[in-house]
Amino acid sequence: MTEQGETGEAITILLVEDDAPTCWRLQDALVKAGYEVRSAGTLSEARQALSVGAPRVLLTDLRLPDGHGVELIRETRQRFPETEIMVISALGDEESVISAITVGATGYLLKDAFPTDIATTVRDLVAGHSPISASIARFIVRRTQGAAQNSAEPPPGPALNTAKLTPREIDILWGIAKGFSYAEIASHLGLSKQTVPGHIKNIYRKLEVHTRSEAVFEAVQQGLIKL
């Protein structure tokens, strides 16, 4: 069985992971699910692979021997906007995941996830469903609360601009953080179940700081910098 995109071609995945056993494990799971996987162990190898052509999906670890995965994510996001990006994390901790999200990642994959879950996650991602975990959702909504309460003291953790999120999106994040399913959230909020993934995708987009100049613009908008 081969996973195929809309064009009928096999879906290509670039897997960037420096730990060999983890890399094998993920590669096995993805290849078994029918994806075409190229793997890279360092940042430079990954850049080399990107120069050949854009993958459909980029899976990258953050801590690489010759650099940080965040740089790779940012570059990929700018050069290939169509590419779906996921970060590979050992624990799924907010620190790494949120910093990846702000440069353009739209989800994360746990290193110890079961093979079927790995394949499912990537398939959902390609289908346009950005997965979001309860702990990430919790981090984001706690941050929106913190911004409302006291803006003087910056909260710990990576910088995150939640100003663009709508109340509805924040409600959805609350539901996810509390462990409700999409269906339950949709019924609580009076939405159709199908629209929830779209909202989540929007949330990712809004949390992303696209460029350096945009970051400056954001800062001016929020009054962090005075011109």
Q: How many residues bind another protein (CB under 8 A)?
A: 25
User: Which range binds another protein by CB under 8 A, 14-22, 51-59, 86-94, 200-208?
Assistant: 86-94
User: Which range binds another protein by CB under 8 A, 15-23, 27-35, 62-70, 131-139?
Assistant: 131-139
Residue 116 engages another protein in binding (rule: CB under 8 A): yes
Question: Given candidates 181, 195, 211, 221, which one binds another protein under the rule CB under 8 A?
Answer: 181
Distance CA 113, CA 14 (A): 18
φ and ψ of 113, to 5 deg: -60, 150
Residue 69 engages another protein in binding (rule: CB under 8 A): no
Write the DSSP string, 129-163.
-----HHHHHHHHHHHHHHHH-SSSPPSSS----T
Residue 109 engages another protein in binding (rule: CB under 8 A): no
Residue 94 engages another protein in binding (rule: CB under 8 A): yes
Report residue 157 as tokens.
Answer: 């953790």
Report residue 148 as tokens.
Answer: 């409302």
Cα angle at 141 between 94 and 73, to 5 degrees?
Answer: 40
Residue 178 engages another protein in binding (rule: CB under 8 A): yes
Q: Are 1 and 34 in contact (CB under 8 A)?
A: yes
Binding residues for another protein, rule: CB under 8 A, are 91-94, 112-114, 116-117, 133-135, 137-139, 142, 145, 176-181, 184, 188
